[in-house]
Every structure is written in C-alpha cells, then in structure tokens.
Amino acid sequence: MPDTADDLVGLVVMGGAMAAYEDFPGRNAELALLRAALDAEIPVLGVCLGAQLLAVAAGGAGRPGDGAQIGWADVWMTQAARSDALFAGVPERLRVLHWHGDTMDLPAGATLLASCDRYPVQAFRLGGSAWGTQFHLEVDETAVGAFADAFPEEAATAPGLIESAPAELAVLARHRDGVFKRFAAFVAARAEQTATRAFFTRRAATWEERFADDGPRYAVAVERMELRPGARVPDLGCGTGRALPALRAHVGDAGLVLGVDLTPAMLTAALRESRDKDGHLLLADVCRLPLPTAALDAVFSAGLINHVPDPATALREWARVTAPDGTLLLYHPSGRAERAARHGRPLDPDDLLAEHRLRPALRTADGTCPATRTLRTTSWPARPASPAEPAAHATGCGEPGMRNTVADNDRAG
C-alpha cells in the first residue's frame, strides 16, 4: 500500500470480509490513504467495505446492520443522482447485487445517491471527487461465482443467485459499464491537476517553515517588476502567499492583488498566515484562469513554470489575461545551478528555465512576442546571492506587448 498519495491520480478501494468499525491488518493505513486522497481531491471509488472505510475516513461511521443482505434486489436513485458525474443516466430503479451485513452512517456534507428500504445508504458522494457504493455494481458472472464459492453459506440464503445471474447482468451491464467509464474519464481528465494537488497537499502544513528565508528574495523580485500604484497583479501558484505582502506594498490599497493556487491545502495555509489581508485568495487552475482577457497589468509567478503540465499553454493563458505592455515575471528563489547541486545532479539543458528554451516560449506566447521581434536581454551585475539581494538576470521583449522578465537566483542558470 502506498505510504503517501503523492503519485496517485485515482484510488479504488474494494470490499472484503472485514468490518470497517473493527481493527484489521492495514485498516489504519487504508484510512490514512483515504484521508490523504480526500484532502488532495484525488478521485476515489469505494465499494462495499471500501465505501464504509471511505465514510469513516471522512468522519462518518461503520456499524453492524440488522442482518445480511445477499442477492439481487432493487436500489432507487435519489434526485441528486440525476446530475451526478457518475450516476447521471442510471435509471431511477436499478437491480444490483447485494452482499453485506454491515452498513454506515454518512459524514456531514455527504450526498446520498442511491437507497433502499432495508439499508438506506447504498451510494453516496463526498465533495466532487469521491464516491462509495454499498452494492456490487462491478460484478460479472465470474465475480458472482467467486462470491458464491468463497461464501457458500451466505450464497445459500439467496436461492437462484447463480442461475439468475446471466439475466440480471444482461440488464445491469450497460449501466455498470457506463458508471465505470465515466469514473475512468473523470480520473483521466483531471490527472495532471490531481498529481499537482497530491504533491503539494502533504507539504502545505510545513511549507512556511521549510522556506522561511525566501521572503526577502520575493520582495526583491517584486521590486524589479516596477509595479505602479493601483496595478492589478496576481501571484500564480501562490502557495502560502509569501509574495502577497510585497505585491500589496507596491500596488497600494487601490491595487488588486490575487493569490491563485490549485491546492486547497496551500490556500488554507495562506489563511493561517493571514495572507488574505494582502490579497484575495482564489482556488483555480492557473492554465484556465477565470479572468477576462487583459484583466491584469502584471503577472508574478514563482517556481511554477516547471510544475504546469504544458508550459506553452500556461504562458499563452497568462498572456491572455495580461493587458498590452504588461509584465510577466517568472521567478525562482533558488537558481538552476543551486537546485541542481542540492539534488546532486548536473544542470539539465532541457529545463524550461534555461534561456535557450525559455526565450522561444516567451516569444510565441499568444503572439505577444512574435519571433520577428527583437529579443533584448538585460542582466544585473553578478554578485554573491543572499536572501536579501539575489543576483538575477532578466529577459524582455523590447516592443509593445507583454514585457517578460525572468529572475533567477544564480547567474549559472
């Protein structure tokens, strides 16, 4: 079982003979992984025991039922299921395979999607990316036979279980396959966002402590943007919002400062640091900003370009929301050489922040710096880097359009 959710883009937790409310080998690890997945908004599907564990991980409870529910029987979709990402299109009455004796109490905020008279909690959703089903939607004829072989005494309480399986599955299969295809498509469509959230969620609580010395470097980088009072500027991929105080100091009370991040845990950490006093915090994908064209005067981005799935798309989007003659500052508090040394590896010539790669990307970002224009480079004098005054270099387009600035913390980059 994974120790962390860092590398997950989706999580499916199946059933078993154990009880969600009793200890069993791996229970604590499963619950920890489910909680991490919920925190990072990783798509989750829990089935039977997996659904009960999902409910427990979110603050609900598993408990014994009033007896075993075995065999084919109806469940009824709720009104909420009609617009659900997975269950929309499933008929109001669906005949499914039940095989359980325990049940669960849902946590606050859960959405009930399917029910039946004996056990009201049959399917549910947590937030917008986690689902649980008490019934076994996943079965085919082989799985039904395996259940009966593994639990013959329980199977004997459901006469005709095996014999009726082909007819039952002939009706169920289309809806079964539809739900699972939609879940797979949901996972695939947001896999890149999920990977980013999973990576940063676990690190959010200690981010400020780990990078406590970066504040002065951020202030120097912001100063080089030459922002005017009243300007509109976001910190894209703001994390805990360390650049927001410096941005606010330059644009003043009349300016607009946004802290934009994809990871809720990072914005929660920003709130703990009271960074909302310096700017508005916005949960959004920096590659699909919910802003009109030319809405901003400048864009600040620290350490983000290497984390977006498609840097060219990101640069075009940032150009779109920036007014003509606006400024884009791509910044990293530690330079390429410093980061390579820290990780014990040589400089990577394919690193997007290498100038021979970054210049073409900036020139072609939404046509704001077409290749026919002259690209001018300005460098600050080389000097020893310090937290208060990092050495840096800048690259800019000298004609109207977006002025692109790259600040790095060592000249070797």
Residue type at position 121: V
Both tokens of 356, joined, read 């021979």
Q: Examine the residue annotation and report whether 393 is marked as an active-site residue of this protein.
A: no
Is-contact 52 121, C-beta < 8 A? no
Contacts of 288 (CB under 8 A, 6+ apart): 317
List Cα–Cα distances, 328 to 226, 242, 297, 323, in angstroms.
11, 18, 9, 11
Closest CA to 86 of 137, 35, 34, 16: 137
Q: Examine the residue annotation and report whether 136 is marked as an active-site residue of this protein.
A: yes
Is-contact 104 64, C-beta < 8 A? no
Considering the candidates 30, 41, 48, 332, report the single residue annotated as catalytic: 48
Considering the candidates 138, 154, 273, 399, report the single residue annotated as catalytic: 138
CA-to-CA distance for 374 and 358, rounded, in angstroms? 15
Considering the candidates 100, 136, 332, 393, report the single residue annotated as catalytic: 136
Q: Examine the residue annotation and report whether 48 is marked as an active-site residue of this protein.
A: yes
Three-state SS letters, the chain: CCCCCCCCCCEEECCCCCCCCCCCCCHHHHHHHHHHHHHCCCCEEEECHHHHHHHHHCCCEEEEEEEEEEEEEEEEECHHHHHCCCCCCCCCEEEEEEEEEEEEECCCCCEEEEECCCCCCCEEEECCCEEEECCECCCCHHHHHHHHHHCHHHHCCCCCCCCCHHHHHHHHHHHHHHHHHHHHHHHHHCHHHHHHHHHHHCCHHHHHHHCHHHHHHHHHHHHCCCCCCCCEEEEECCCCCCCHHHHHHHHCCCCEEEEEECCHHHHHHHHHCCHHHCCEEEECCCCCCCCCCCCEEEEEEECCCCCCCCHHHHHHHHHHCEEEEEEEEEECCCCHHHHHHHCCCCCCCCCCCCHHHHHHHHHHHHHCCCCCCCEEEEECCCCCCCCCCCCCEEEEECCCCCEEEEECCCCCC
CA-to-CA distance for 121 and 20, rounded, in angstroms? 15
Catalytic machinery residues: 48, 136, 138
